[in-house]
Amino acid sequence: MRQGGRLRLVALLAWLAAPVYAETHVVTIDRMSYHLSASEVRVGDTIKWINKDPVLHTATSDAGDFDVILGAGETARTALTSAGRLDVICSYHPGMRMVLVVN
């Protein structure tokens, strides 16, 4: 392999080996809805839930991965440990739903 080619191979291997940094994505609960600002969510990322409503809500995964209870003004964090589609609901308000796709 020529030197130029070897350098490109080393660069490619370095890029592949580079760590993917986990991100925190905020989901705001406001006026009886979940609002996720992120466009992409990955395994290893964290969701930060913020309840801006005056009432008690939950963020409950139908797959059983998490069940977070949030009083008015409270925040909580959930680590996303597996990929897939999660339906998130509020246990107290059946009309409140969100789909979370974890890549």
Chain residues in the site for another protein (CB under 8 A): 31-32, 53-56, 72, 92-96
Considering beta carbons, is residue 64 or 95 the nearer one to another protein? 95
Give min distance, CB of 101 to another protein, in A: 24
Q: 90 with 59: CB under 8 angstroms?
A: yes
Cα–Cα distance measured from residue 99 to residue 85, given in angstroms and rounded to the nearest whole number:
7
Give min distance, CB of 72 to another protein, in A: 6
In three-state secondary structure terms, 53 is coil
Considering beta carbons, is residue 13 or 32 the nearer one to another protein? 32
Q: 70 with 57: CB under 8 angstroms?
A: yes
Question: Burial of 43 by CB count in 10 Å (0-12 exposed, 13-18 middle, 19+ buried)?
Answer: middle
Considering beta carbons, is residue 42 or 93 the nearer one to another protein? 93
Give min distance, CB of 99 to another protein, in A: 18
Give min distance, CB of 71 to another protein, in A: 9
Considering beta carbons, is residue 75 or 92 the nearer one to another protein? 92
Q: 63 with 24: CB under 8 angstroms?
A: no
